[in-house]
Amino acid sequence: MTPGSMFSGSGSGPLDGILIADFSRILAGPYCTMLLGDMGATIVKVESPSGDDTRSWKPPVREDEATYFLSVNRNKHSVVLDFGDAEDLRTAHDLVRRADVMVENFKPGGLVRYGLDYASLAPELPKLIYTSITGFGTKGGADSAGYDLTVQAMSGLMSVNGGAETGPFRVGVAVLDVMTGLHAAMGILGALHHRSTTGRGQLLELNLLTSALSGMVNQTAAWVAGGVVPQRMGNEHPSLYPYEPFPTADGDLIVAAGNDSQFTKLCGVLQIPGVATDARFTTPHLRSDNRDELRILLRERLATQTAAHWFDALTAVGVPSAPIHDVQQGVEFAEKIGLEPVVVAGTGDRAIPSLRHPVDYSLTPARYDLAPPVLGDSTAALKDWLNTTEGPPPRGES
C-alpha cells in the first residue's frame, strides 16, 4: 500500500474519502473516531511520544497490549508527533489542513500555544469541522479535569445507582465517556451533512457533564420537569413494576413487565391469573404504588422453578426476562442468537478480536481493515504523503 492510498480512503463505507485528524486520547474521542473509521473514514491518530494513556492501562492484556486501548482504536493510523518539536508541529498543522474533521480532547485552551485551537485554524480552514471534547465545558468548569468517574459523581448519576443501604455506586463501565463519544459521532455526521450543502465547517463542543444530564433522560427530567429528586432504588425502576431481579429456585431472574398485556401474561405463566385482575395491580401506576405487596406474590411463585424454566416460559409468551450473565456469558448469548458480536480487525500477524460495529448497513457494511495501531506505525508514511502530494499551502505561506 502506497502512502497516498493509506490516507486517501478505503474505497468503501459511507464516510469513504473523509479524513479525520484525531488528536484525542483515552475513551470518548477514540470511541467516536473508531466508529467513524468503521464507516470508512480515514483516521490519523496523533499521539505523543509516550502514546495514548490507555496503552499502559493494564491489566487485562492481549500479548502485553492493553485491551482497553485495543477496544477503541481499530481502523486508525498512529502518528507520533511532539508539539514541542518545530518540524512535528508543522506536520500536525499540515495534517489538519488536509483533514475534513479534527477531534481533540485537550483541556480548554491547551492547544492555543500550538495554533491548533479552533480560533486559530478557522480563518484559514473554513471547511474544517473542529470537534472539541471536555469534561465540564469551556466556561466555569474549564479548569476541571473531566474523568468519567468524577462526572458520574457530579452529574447525579452515582446518586441513583446502588441501594438505600449501599450508598452511591458508579456504573461499571465509563458510560459517560462512551455516551459523549456517541454524541460526538452524531454531531460530526450532522456537521458533514451541513457542510455538504453549505460548504461551511463549524465548531462542535461537547462535554461529559452535558452528555450525562442528557443521557440520564427520565431521571434528570424528574427534577427538571417534575421537581422530584430521584433516589437510589437498587435494581428497581421508579415508574414500572415488576422491573427487577427476582430469586428463583437456582438464581436470580430479571422480570420486566412494562405494560398491562405483559403483566397479564406474566400472571398467566405463573398461574396466578387473579393477581392480574386484582384492583391493586390493574395499571402500571397502581403496580408501582403497591409494589411491596405485589413483590411478595411474585417471589412466592418464581421461587418454585429454576431461572431457565421461567426464562423459557416467559420468552415464549413475550414477557421480557433475563438471567444475569457475566460478560463472557453475554458475548456467548449474543453469538447463540446469531448477532455475531465478535469480528477480527486486521489481518495476518496483526489480527485482533474486536467487538463489531453497532450498526448493520445493508449497502455499506462496517469495515475492520486495520487492527489497533502500533505506536507510530504510520508516522513516516504520513510525513511522506504530506510532502509529496498536493494540498493547501503550509501555514503562513501564500
Write the CB contacts of 324 (distance below 8 Å, at least 6 apart in sequence).
245, 251, 252, 253, 254
Chain-centre distance of CA 156, in angstroms? 19
122 three-state secondary structure: coil
Residues 6+ apart with CB under 8 A from 145: 107, 135
Rounded Cα distance, 27 and 151, in Å: 14
| Residue 219 per-residue DSSP state | H
Eight-class DSSP state of 371: P
- Cite the active site residues: 177
Rounded (10°) angle between helices 175-198 and 148-155? 90
Question: Which residues does 197 contact at the CB level (< 8 Å), separation at least 6?
Answer: none
Count of other CB atoms within 10 angstroms of residue 292: 8
Report the amino acid identity of residue 168. Answer: P
DSSP 272-296: -HHHHH-TTSSSHHHHHHTHHHHHH
